[in-house]
Amino acid sequence: MPQESRITREDLEFDRLHIWHPYSSVTDPPPVWPVAGAEGCRIRLADGRELVDGMASWWSVIHGYNHPRLNRAALDQINGFSHVMFGGLTHKPAIGLCRRLVDLTPEGLDRVFICDSGSVAVEVAIKMALQYQHARGRPEKHRLVTIRNGYHGDTFAAMSVCDPVTGMHSIFSGALPKQFFAPAPQTPFSGDFHEDDIAELAGIIAEHHGEIAALILEPVVQGAGGMRFYSPRYLARARELCDRYGLLLIADEIATGFGRTGRMFACEHAGISPDIICLGKAMTGGYLSLAATLCTGEVARTVCAGAAGCFMHGPTFMANPLACRIACESIDLLLESPWQEKIAAMEERMRAGLAPCSLLPAVKDVRVLGGIGVVELARTPDFRRLQESLVDRGVWVRPFGRLVYIMPPYVISDEELDTLTAAMVETLTGLD
Ligand code: PMP
């Protein structure tokens, strides 16, 4: 192992005293496990233990770690050029990526804005919607409507459309734009949809469409806001409401995109196209942060016919060639693989593997869709104990609130998947 990657006791002490981890306290930091390497679906800890990865590093590492083709693409691009500014310049990695995205995404989405992270992709989508309405002579349509239990990122506009309770809007209320919230959809993915489920959203839109630019939601799967799967019929009705009342539909497919729900994009379950789509996470196979916001030609042309004459955004690292090149390779790897069969097999195996959880007293619900397996507990568990006992069983599964969930790399073997689900069953059996 290279000297630089060896972690000492002092390093860990420095980490504890100086480094913020996601959503963590600096005064009472939760434990962190030092990583020495990662390969395929395994994460190797500094003490030599190997963990089977159930998280795909938060939906992103779909092809597994240390993939020879992604490594080769990265090295090849580094040996050419890692970065050039995108203002006034262009390059093959960006063109290649945008070609692939225009081809793959639902019909009509043919203008691509490449940006740095999922949260920024959401900011970009919201700005596009506002500039669009402004350019149509409707500047008063500057608010958003969304559904509760959503998660769209950690920057301010993105936060403003996250669930107000889990997103702790009370802390930021003075600074956050005020948006409209409808109840979260209640009809499960395969449930019978009734119009009642969308009545409140329809009511808000009917009453306030004059001030609303767009509806933003995570299609079919609400991720970090509750790992909830809802009926594609709801999404199809939401599309109709947007059309009827002159709202743009923004689909946040940052978590669901690139096959995770069993379709390339979750919108396909409902057979709809949004006006704007946000992509990220799995786009580079988890190698680098990169995201994209695509919109229709009509949205793009209207934005550019407005007062600014352009879209008002342009980050320093826009379309970073290294990240774009890896994204092209990651998308090719996905398309060359039998990903539909693989996800369907994962779904079936997870469903069987997690079924014993539904008999446990601590468990409220077990649900599986595509490559996502969720166990929802009745009460919030002792997070540290739960996390430690999962690691002790040789798996990397990161519980969140009352949710213990997995979305493994697509290349996971049957045995590795069984290890993950068995470890979850055993760990949760110990809970009261
Ligand atoms: N939208 C959704 C649906 C997400 O799941 C996430 C990340 N968890 C984001 C937006 C924000 O992406 P990022 O963390 O890359 O900013």
Q: Tell which atom from ligand 1 comes closest to the C-alpha of 150.
A: 3
Confidence of residue 50 (pLDDT cuts 50, 70, 90): very high
Reading the block at residue 59, the tokens are 């939906």
Mutation probe of ligand 1 site: the residue of 152, 218, 265, 277 with most atoms within 8 A of C-beta? 152
Mutation probe of ligand 1 site: the residue of 256, 281, 403 with most atoms within 8 A of C-beta? 281
Residue 212: CB atoms within 10 Å: 25
- Alpha carbon of 261 to those of 36, 61, 230, 244, 267: distances in Å? 31, 15, 12, 28, 10
CA 211 to ligand 1 centroid distance, Å:
26
Active site residue 252: yes
Query: To the nearest whole number, what is the mean pLDDT of the chain?
Result: 97
- Domains of the chain, by residue range, sit at 3-66+339-429, 72-336
pLDDT in tens, 358-388: 999 999 999 999 999 999 999 999 999 999 9
What's the longest Cα–Cα distance across the chain?
Answer: 63
The CA distance from 205 to 107, in Å, is 25
Q: Domain 3-66+339-429 belongs to what topology?
A: Aspartate Aminotransferase, domain 1 (3.90.1150)
- The whole-angstrom distance between residue 82's C-alpha and the CA centroid of its chain comes to 25
Q: Tell which atom from ligand 1 comes closest to the C-alpha of 58.
A: 8
CB half-sphere exposure, 27, CA atoms < 13 A: 0
Reading the block at residue 289, the tokens are 């942060």
Summarize the confidence of residues 302-321 as an average pLDDT.
97
Give one DSSP letter per residue of 237-296, joined into a string: HHHHHHHHHT-EEEEE-TTTTTTTTSSSSGGGGTT---SEEEE-GGGGTTSS--EEEEEE
Does ligand 1 come within 6 angstroms of the Cβ of 216? no
Residue 3: pLDDT over 90: no
Residue 348: pLDDT over 90: yes
Secondary-structure class of domain 72-336 per CATH: alpha beta
Residue 2: pLDDT over 80: no
pLDDT in tens, 92-151: 999 999 999 999 999 999 999 999 999 999 999 999 999 999 999 999 999 999 999 999
What pLDDT does residue 430 have? 81
Query: Which residue, among 295, 246, 291, 240, has the nearest Cα to 270 in the 3D structure?
Result: 240
Does ligand 1 come within 6 angstroms of the Cβ of 118? yes
Confidence of residue 173 (pLDDT cuts 50, 70, 90): confident
Summarize the confidence of residues 233-261 as an average pLDDT.
98
The CA distance from 348 to 358, in Å, is 16
- Contacts of residue 181, defined as CB under 8 A and 6 or more positions apart, other chains included, come to 145, 146, 147, 148, 164
What pLDDT does residue 432 have? 73
Confidence of residue 431 (pLDDT cuts 50, 70, 90): confident
What pLDDT does residue 76 have? 98
pLDDT in tens, 175-207: 999 999 999 999 999 999 999 999 999 999 999
Active-site pick, 151, 230, 405, 410: 151
The CA distance from 327 to 116, in Å, is 13
User: Is 206 within 8 Å of 245 (Cβ atoms)?
Assistant: yes
- Contacts of residue 190, defined as CB under 8 A and 6 or more positions apart, other chains included, come to 231
Active site residue 405: no
Active site residue 11: no
Atom 9 of ligand 1, residue of closest alpha carbon: 153
Does ligand 1 come within 6 angstroms of the Cβ of 152? yes
Does ligand 1 come within 6 angstroms of the Cβ of 223? yes
The CA distance from 97 to 288, in Å, is 14
Reading the block at residue 130, the tokens are 């506002």
Residue 288: pLDDT over 80: yes
What pLDDT does residue 69 have? 98
Atom 10 of ligand 1, residue of closest alpha carbon: 152
What are residue 396's phi and psi, to 5 degrees? Answer: -105, 100
Query: Which residue, among 411, 390, 408, 431, has the nearest Cα to 350 in the 3D structure?
Result: 408
pLDDT in tens, 11-44: 999 999 999 999 999 998 989 999 999 999 999 9
Does ligand 1 come within 6 angstroms of the Cβ of 189? no
Atom 1 of ligand 1, residue of closest alpha carbon: 152
CA 219 to ligand 1 centroid distance, Å:
13
What pLDDT does residue 280 have? 98
Residue 308: left if φ>0, alpha if ψ -120 to 50, beta else—which one? alpha
